[in-house]
Amino acid sequence: MNGNPFDLDDAATYQRWRERKLADAPAKAEDLIVEVSDPRALSAAEHGALIERIRRCNMAIYAGRMLDEDPDVPRRLGAQFGLQRLDANWLAGEDGISEIRVFDDGTRKLYIPYTDRPIKWHTDGYYNAPEWQIRGMVLHCVRDAASGGDNRLLDHEMAYLLLREEDPGHVRALTQPDAMLIPERVDEQDGVRPAQGGPVFSLDPDGHLHMRYTARTRSIAWKQDAATQAAVAALGRVLAGDAGPVLHAHLAPGMGLLCNNVLHDRAAFRDDPARPRLLYRARYLDRIA
Ligand SMILES: [Fe+2]
């Protein structure tokens, strides 16, 4: 590729990329769905259909019929897309794949993902050190909730596009290495860790766009300059827009999200005690190949 669309000084490459991106954007979450017979061993056609969607918008949803409680399903699915290096979260199971369900006791019930409460817009691992960024993710549904628990999704490249359209200064502000600061020790999700600052938008060594973000207002400090404040407000408006590029997805049993760590949230939910919601989450340092 000549030029990089994420270079603010390369307007020509950006314009070509922008037109393609807008033309290819999915209109609804259903456009992301690919029926598969066995996510552990995809056919070439199923694999190709998933990759085609990921190329367009960094995400795809597979719909299979594997309803077993088996973390090997997301692991083997991910491996077919070059996702190998799992992020070993200390709260995750020993194999590095987290069970996302309501925990009534133990440490995990203190952390929002392990409750039935809503989770605000974010990318996974936004609090991680720069050399330990989450680039790929699989979220596999074994059982859904009696009601609620849906996800909103937004391709982080589309968020970039919308911000750059409004004002390239937003992108410049959010690329600053000190745009966001996660203070020491105050994140409910990960407990004790040192203060961690970093950019919202950055480029991987291979030129791909990476994004770190959380809509949380506690345990995060945004840079206090006017440009950063304006950019964060603009991003908030993009994410609040329920029309347009924000997709609404419901993962039913056997379905899963495969993505390059796009922006997402989760609605509150209510469990059926007889079959409580269970998802497996696998986070990777790798991007989908
Ligand atoms: Fe997440």
Q: 283 CA distance to ligand 1 centroid (A)? A: 9
User: Rounded CA gap, 106 and 125, in Å?
Assistant: 22
User: Rounded CA gap, 207 and 184, in Å?
Assistant: 30
The residues facing 280 across adjacent strands are: 99, 140
Q: 265 CA distance to ligand 1 centroid (A)? A: 7
Which tens digits make up the pLDDT trace of 183-237? 886 555 555 677 888 999 999 999 999 999 999 988 889 999 999 999 999 999 9
Q: 10 CA distance to ligand 1 centroid (A)? A: 32
Q: Which portions of the chain are predicted below pLDDT 70?
A: 1, 89-94, 185-192, 242-243
Q: CB of 211 within 8 A of CB of 174?
A: no
Give the pLDDT confidence score for residue 100 in this predicted structure.
94
Task: Give me the phi and psi of 257, to 5 degrees please.
Answer: -100, 130
Q: CB of 91 within 8 A of CB of 192?
A: no
- Burial degree of 197 (CB within 10 A; 0-12, 13-18, 19+): middle
Taken in order 34, 285, 250, 105, the sign of the CA dihedral is positive
CA dihedral 53, 56, 57, 62 (to 10 degrees): 0
Six-digit token pair at 241?
């827009």
Which residue, 226, 283, 237, is CA-closest to 260?
A: 283
User: Rounded CA gap, 39 and 138, in Å?
Assistant: 12
Give the pLDDT confidence score for residue 137 in this predicted structure.
97
Q: How do beta strands 209-211 and 221-222 pair? A: unpaired
Q: 13 CA distance to ligand 1 centroid (A)? A: 31
Give the pLDDT confidence score for residue 241 in this predicted structure.
85
Q: 1 CA distance to ligand 1 centroid (A)? A: 31
Give the pLDDT confidence score for residue 244 in this predicted structure.
76
Cα–Cα distances in Å, from 54 out to 51, 61, 188?
A: 5, 9, 31
Q: 11 CA distance to ligand 1 centroid (A)? A: 32
Q: 20 CA distance to ligand 1 centroid (A)? A: 27
Q: 257 CA distance to ligand 1 centroid (A)? A: 11
Q: 281 CA distance to ligand 1 centroid (A)? A: 9
Q: How do beta strands 147-148 and 278-284 pair? A: unpaired
Q: 181 CA distance to ligand 1 centroid (A)? A: 19
Helix or strand or coil: residue 238?
Answer: helix
Q: 9 CA distance to ligand 1 centroid (A)? A: 32
Q: 37 CA distance to ligand 1 centroid (A)? A: 26
**Amino acid at residue number 247:** L
Among left, alpha and beta (phi > 0; psi -120 to 50; other), residue 261 is left
Q: 228 CA distance to ligand 1 centroid (A)? A: 23
Q: 139 CA distance to ligand 1 centroid (A)? A: 9
Q: 12 CA distance to ligand 1 centroid (A)? A: 34
Q: 123 CA distance to ligand 1 centroid (A)? A: 6
Q: 16 CA distance to ligand 1 centroid (A)? A: 31
